[in-house]
Amino acid sequence: ITATILAYCKTMGALENFCDFLRIRSVSHEGPQGAYIEAIIFLRSTYEKRLRCSSVTQFEVSDGRPVLIFSIEGKSPNLKSVVLNCHTDVVPAVDEKWSYPPFDAHIDEKGDIYGRGTQDMKSVGIQYLEALCGLRDRGVDFERTIHILFVPDEEIGGIQGMGLLVRTKEWRELNAGVVLDEGLASPTETYTVFYGERAPIWLRLRARGPTGHASRFIANSANERLFRVINKIYEFRKEQEKEVGMLAECGCSHVVAKKLGDVTTVNCTMLKSGVSTDDGKTYCLNVIPSEAEAGFDMRVATTIPLDEFKIMLESWAAEENVEVDISYMPEKHAITPMSDSWWKVFEHACEKAGINIEPEVFPAATDSRYIRVLDIPAFGFSPMNNTPILLHDHNERIHKDVFLSGIDIYRTIIPSLANHVK
Ligand SMILES: [Zn+2]
C-alpha cells in the first residue's frame, strides 16, 4: 500500500509541475519581457535539486532570451553526450475560441489537460525532467553525460534562440552525440519519430514590362510574365498534391503512403502590382502596370536536391525574363540518415519501452534543423499516441494518462541512449 501511495504522490507531483509550467504565459514575442525568465526560475526551483545536477548553466543567448542547461555528468564524461531539447516558448492563443482559458491548465472530467503548450512542447520538457528525477531518486547514474536544454524563440524560427546557441562555446562544450527534440502527437496507437524536415524556401519573383493604355493588346506585360511563371509553379504544385496519399517505395523497402512531409508544397503568399496615386486606396485600372511581384513559401521534400530545385525555379523565371530573389534557403537538407548508428539505438530503446514507432519527415520546421546541419543526429519525438494533433490549434490538450505514460517511456529511452557505448 505504501508503494502505491508513493507512486500516486509522484504522479500528482508530475501533473502539478506540468500544470504550473503551462500557467507561465511564455508566448514567443512576449517572452523577453519576463515570461522566459519566469519559466527558467520555475524549472530551476522545481528540478535543480531533485536532478542532482553536476552543473546548471544559464545565460542569455540574445537580449531577454535565456537558455537553461541542466547537466548530469556521466561515468565516462569523454563520450559524446545525450542532449534532450525543449523550447520554452509557445504560440499565442485566442482566448474566445477555447473551452477553458489557454493558460489555466484546466483538467476536465475526462482527464484532458487543456492549455497552450500541452502538446507543443511543455509536456515533453516536464516528461524528460520527471523521468530523470525518478531515476536519480533511485540513485541511477549513466555512462554518458546528459544535458537537458530549455531554449527560447523556437516558434518564431529560432533565429535568436537555437540558431545562435549552436554557434556558442557553451554549445560546443556540450559535446552532443545525439539529440532528442519535439515531434508530433499521433492519432493512432503507433508513435511517430521525425528524422528530418523539408527545407523552407522564401522567395520573391519580380517582373517588369511595357506600360500603356489598358484598352490595347499590350504583349508581355509585367503581370502577364509573372502569371506565366506562377502558372508553371502551380502546375508543379498540382503534381505534388496528387502524390499525397499515393503509394510510394520508400528507402526502408516497404510500401507506405506519401505524407505531407514527403512532398513539396508551394504557396503564393504575396502579390503586388497596379498603378496607384494614393498608396493603394484606389488603382488606375486602365493603366498597364510596369512592375509586378509575387512572394512564395516553399517546403522542399528531402528527396529533391536543393540546388536542382533552385535551378528549376530559375529556369522557369528566366524563360519569362522574371527576376528571382531568394531571401531564405538553407544550404542543405536537414536530415538524420536512417543509416546513422544512433537510429538503431533509438529504435531498440523504443522496442524496450514497448512502443511501436513510425519514421517520418516533419512537415514544418523545428529547432532540430540547426542541429542536423551540423551532422549531429536529432530525433523529433513527442511521446503522445492516441491523441489528436492540436499543436498551435484552439483547445490544445493532452490526456493526463498519455502525459504520465510519456514519463515511463522516457524512463526507458533516456538510459538506453545514455548507457549506449560504441
Ligand atoms: Zn514546438
Longest Cα–Cα distance of the chain, Å, equals 90
Enumerate the domain spans of the chain.
2-197+333-418, 199-328
What is the residue-level pLDDT of the chain in tens, covering all 422 positions?
677 776 776 777 999 999 999 999 999 999 999 999 999 999 999 999 999 999 999 999 999 999 999 999 999 999 999 999 999 999 999 999 999 999 999 999 999 999 999 999 999 999 999 999 999 999 999 999 999 999 999 999 899 999 999 999 999 999 999 999 999 999 999 999 999 999 999 999 999 999 988 898 999 999 999 999 999 999 999 999 998 877 554 544 344 568 888 999 999 999 999 999 999 999 999 999 999 999 999 999 999 999 999 999 999 999 999 999 999 898 889 899 889 999 999 999 999 999 999 999 998 889 999 999 999 999 999 999 999 999 899 999 999 999 999 999 999 999 999 999 97
Written as one string, the DSSP assignment of 1-38 is -HHHHHHHHHHHHHHHHHHHHHTS--BTTTGGGTHHHH
Tell me, what's the pLDDT at 280?
Answer: 92
Q: Is residue 347 annotated as involved in ligand binding? A: no
- Asked if residues 68 and 149 have their Cβ atoms less than 8 Å apart, the reply is yes
* Separation of CA 266 and ligand 1 centre (Å): 22
Q: Is residue 155 annotated as involved in ligand binding? A: yes
The H or E element that residue 201 is part of is strand 199-208
81-87 β-sheet, strand order: 55-62, 65-72, 146-151, 81-87, 176-181, 378-380, 191-197, 357-362
* Separation of CA 314 and ligand 1 centre (Å): 33
The distance of Cα 313 from the centroid of its chain, to the nearest Å, equals: 26
Tell me the pairing of strands 146-151 and 65-72.
Answer: antiparallel
Tell me, what's the pLDDT at 294?
Answer: 98
Q: Catalytic residue among 130, 153, 154, 262, which?
A: 154
CATH class given for the domain over 2-197+333-418: alpha beta
Q: Is residue 396 annotated as involved in ligand binding? A: no
* Separation of CA 44 and ligand 1 centre (Å): 21
* Separation of CA 134 and ligand 1 centre (Å): 25
Q: Cα angle vertex 161, ends 158, 164, to 5°?
A: 105
Which residue type, as a one-letter code, is found at position 59? F
First to last CA, the chain: 42
Q: Is residue 392 annotated as involved in ligand binding? A: yes
Any catalytic annotation for residue 89?
yes
Any catalytic annotation for residue 154?
yes
Tell me, what's the pLDDT at 59?
Answer: 98
φ, ψ at 113 (rounded to 5°): -95, 120
Tell me, what's the pLDDT at 15?
Answer: 96
* Separation of CA 152 and ligand 1 centre (Å): 11
* Separation of CA 292 and ligand 1 centre (Å): 36
* Separation of CA 407 and ligand 1 centre (Å): 18
Q: Is residue 189 annotated as involved in ligand binding? A: no
Cα separation of 199 and 216, whole Å? 43
Tell me, what's the pLDDT at 5?
Answer: 72
Tell me, what's the pLDDT at 159?
Answer: 92
Tell me, what's the pLDDT at 148?
Answer: 98
Is the backbone peptide bond immediately before 329 cis, with ω within 30 degrees of 0? no
* Separation of CA 390 and ligand 1 centre (Å): 11
- Asked if residues 195 and 290 have their Cβ atoms less than 8 Å apart, the reply is no
- Helix boundaries (H) for 328-399: 341-352, 368-372
CA dihedral angle for residue 361, residue 363, residue 366, residue 368, rounded to 10 degrees: 10
Grid cell listed for 29: 514575442
The single-letter DSSP state of residue 90 is B
Q: Is CATH 3.40.640.10 what the domain over 199-328 is classified as, yes or no? A: no
Number of C-beta neighbours around residue 24 at 10 A:
22
* Gyration radius from the chain CA atoms: 25
